[in-house]
Structure formats: structure tokens, C-alpha cells
Amino acid sequence: MPTHTTTPDGAADLVVVGAGIVGLAHAVEGLARGLKVHVIERDERAVGASIRNFGHICTTVQSGQALTYALPARERWLDLAAKAGFEVRETGTVVLARTEAEMAVLEEFARSRGTDQARLLDAGATRALFAPAAADVLGGAHLPLDLRVDPREALPAIAAWLESEGVRFSWSTHVGAIDPAAGGIDVRTSRGTIRSARVVHAAGHDVDRLFPLVAEEEGVRRCRLQMLEVAPPGDVEIVPAVLTGLSMLRYGGFAETTAATRLRQEIEATSPELLDVVMNLMLTQRPATAGRPGSIVLGDTHHYDRTHLPFDDEYVAELVLREGARLLGAPLTVRRRWRGVYADSPRTDFLDREPFPGLRVVSVTSGIGMTTALGLAPTVLDQLF
């Protein structure tokens, strides 16, 4: 049942700070509950982690709380795509196994999840889904529940749809303080003060800008990624997202298998430099343009610090290109390079703190905001209201 909180004329029931996917997820949920929602974003449009990613809604490989959020988030992505008018592709993910240790992880994972979530593939079936697969591919798995979106299309479309439904947006507006006040909460911005009954602060990796104690207590730091777009060799078209053995060390559903221990030992023995840069070798392909296959988004590596130096190491990019060329079976031509940045915490995957009543500081601190935010937001608002 929709609920509405009465507030003074001109005030908001819910102010959301941040128009990335976590902020938009809370705006979507607030709208569904009949709340008067106001979103404040410091930039002209979302330019952070929510558009610098693979556009991979990697539902299946999550575990624990992340899987609890990811499963309903998947359905909400499908619903939002229909309402907001952007494309969501139900292509699933193909996971490649190039060694016996990698295949053992997939076999154990598939046994635990069942064929509706993970279907094992032999080498031929793997190549049918991923044509560039090299001769060393032993097999793989198809994860049919996973989705793909183009984040550079989806995020603006969601914001535009929310605006059309009555959600107010203040773009290019900096929030300098959030303070309790009589009858509500004052959000002090570069364009004036906004009064709200409740506030969700969803500013991604910038938790420490307004809430340094929260960031320190949760060990929040910034994870910097090096990512690339490369030309598709031979104009190849790759329909699903693609994960590899390195991905099996990163995602909980794989990493929690007993076989993952042997896989880590194997990579430590053969390619320790990939573990040094915390590589997750994966790719998706962007939508076609002018009838030509889109660029391949390739990455990524992970580097952790509270404050990063402004320099990128070309050695790291060369490692990604080396492994990408091996994966795609051809030398690669770079079209774009960029940094991704997201909030990370070694203590929690989901930061959700209440510095004072009516305010929630929320961040997905595990790099899976696109996958989980639409499932996280209902839980946050249940508690907030």
C-alpha cells in the first residue's frame, strides 16, 4: 500500500543525495510508496561509478545478503526498463573455464545452484556463446538470470522517467551539510536549504566528505579501477557478459566453493602478477552503432586507498590488454581508457548507518551497486519510515 508522510508545503518526504544507481534506486522506491521525493546531485548528470561500469547485472554469482538483494533487483530492472524506455538484455553470462581447477569451481557452483541458475557447458557449447574462445577452453557455464544494460543509456532514462512522474531533481547542486531541525531535517545546499522528513545520503565513495566518522568506523576507502574499451577483433559480436577464472576468486558464489582454494593456488603459481593488481578479467560489448558491432568493455583491476594519487600505471593497462588479447584471440586496439572509482569496505558490502534519526548514509561498498541497489533500497526505506 502506498504511504505518504505529511510535511510542510514545499518540503519533501524524502530527499536523496546522489543520482547514481543507489540514489536513483531509493527515489524509485520512494515514488512507489507515494512519497514526495527530491533528488540532489552535485553534477549535471551521473558521471561516477554508475556509468563507468560493464552494465552487467551479475545476479547469479552473488551470495549471502548480496544475493538476497540481487534477485529482486533483477526483476526491478526489467520493470524499470519497460517504464523508462531503455533496453535490458536477458542474455545471461558465460563463464569460461580454461583449466581443470576452473572447471571444478563451476561444477561445484552448478551443483549448489541448480540448472535454472547455472548450466554447465562443454567446450563446443561454450564457443557457441563466445566465438573467440581459444583452444585452451575446456568448458564453461551459462548463467541465464544475469542481465545487461548500457549504463550510459539506463541512468539518464531512469532519471528522466522519475522526473516525468513528479520526482524533483536539483542538478549541479552541492550539499554542504545535513542537520537535524525542528520538524524535519535541513539539507543545506549551494542553492539554499531544503527541508525534508527523511534523508538518504547516497554519494558513493564520498561518504567521508560529510560523514568522516562513519567512513572511518566502517573502514571506507576508494577502489580505483583501470578499464578500457577496445575494438572488437574481426567485428565479432558477443551477446552475453563474459567472466573468467579470475572472476571466480572475486564473486562470493564462486569464491565460497571449496574448489576455489585450489584455483587461487594455481593462479598464485602461474600468474601472481594478476593477483597483485586484483584483476577480474571480464568483458561486455556495448550496443552496435551504425550497424557495426560496439566496442568491448574490458577490465578490470582494483587498487585500494583512502586518497589515490592521480597517476595511472601503464604496466597495469598492459596486463589487462595482454590478458584480453589472450581471451579474445587477437591483438587489441584501445578506443577509450578510464578510471572507475567506487566505495569499498573490508568490513561490510553494504554500508547503512543512521548518524541521527531520519538520516541514512547508504553506500554499496563492494562494487556491485548496479546488481543490488534496486533490492537494497526497499530495506532501507522500510527501516527509515
pLDDT reported for residue 9: 43
- State yes or no: pLDDT of 249 exceeds 60: yes
pLDDT reported for residue 101: 98
DSSP letter for each residue of 218-273: HT-EEEEEEEEEEPPGGG----SEEE-TTGGGTSHHHHTSTHHHHHHHHHHHH-HH
pLDDT reported for residue 362: 98
Confidence of residue 342 (pLDDT cuts 50, 70, 90): very high
Confidence of residue 383 (pLDDT cuts 50, 70, 90): very high
Averaged over 62-68, what is the pLDDT? 97
- In angstroms, the CA 385 to CA 306 distance is 32
Instruction: Provide the residue ranges of all domains of the chain, joining segments of one domain with +.
Output: 12-51+153-218+347-384, 93-144+221-344
Per residue in 293-338, pLDDT (tens digit) is: 999 999 999 999 999 999 999 999 999 999 999 999 999 999 999 9
Superfamily name with CATH number, domain 12-51+153-218+347-384: FAD/NAD(P)-binding domain (3.50.50.60)
- State yes or no: pLDDT of 69 exceeds 50: yes
C-alpha cell at 348: 561490510
CA angle in degrees (0–180, nearest 5) for 21-27-32:
125
Per residue in 150-184, pLDDT (tens digit) is: 999 999 999 999 999 999 999 999 999 999 998 89
- State yes or no: pLDDT of 291 exceeds 90: no
pLDDT reported for residue 348: 96
Which residues have CB under 8 Å from 22's CB, separation 6+? 50, 202, 204, 362, 363, 364, 369, 373, 376, 377
Which residues have CB under 8 Å from 82's CB, separation 6+? none
pLDDT reported for residue 255: 97
- State yes or no: pLDDT of 245 exceeds 50: yes
Question: How large a percentage of the chain has pLDDT more than 70?
Answer: 97
- In angstroms, the CA 85 to CA 274 distance is 39
Confidence of residue 10 (pLDDT cuts 50, 70, 90): low
Averaged over 346-365, what is the pLDDT? 97
- State yes or no: pLDDT of 4 exceeds 50: no
* pTM for the whole structure: 0.94
Is residue 14 within 8 A of residue 38, CB to CB? The reply is: yes
Is residue 215 within 8 A of residue 346, CB to CB? The reply is: no
Confidence of residue 194 (pLDDT cuts 50, 70, 90): very high
Confidence of residue 3 (pLDDT cuts 50, 70, 90): very low
Confidence of residue 135 (pLDDT cuts 50, 70, 90): confident
Question: How large a percentage of the chain has pLDDT more than 90?
Answer: 92
Q: Which fold has domain 93-144+221-344?
A: D-Amino Acid Oxidase; Chain A, domain 2 (3.30.9)
For 189-218, b where at least 16 C-beta lie within 10 A, e where not — what string?
A: beeeebbbbbbbbbbbbbbbebbeebbeeb
Is residue 321 within 8 A of residue 337, CB to CB? The reply is: no
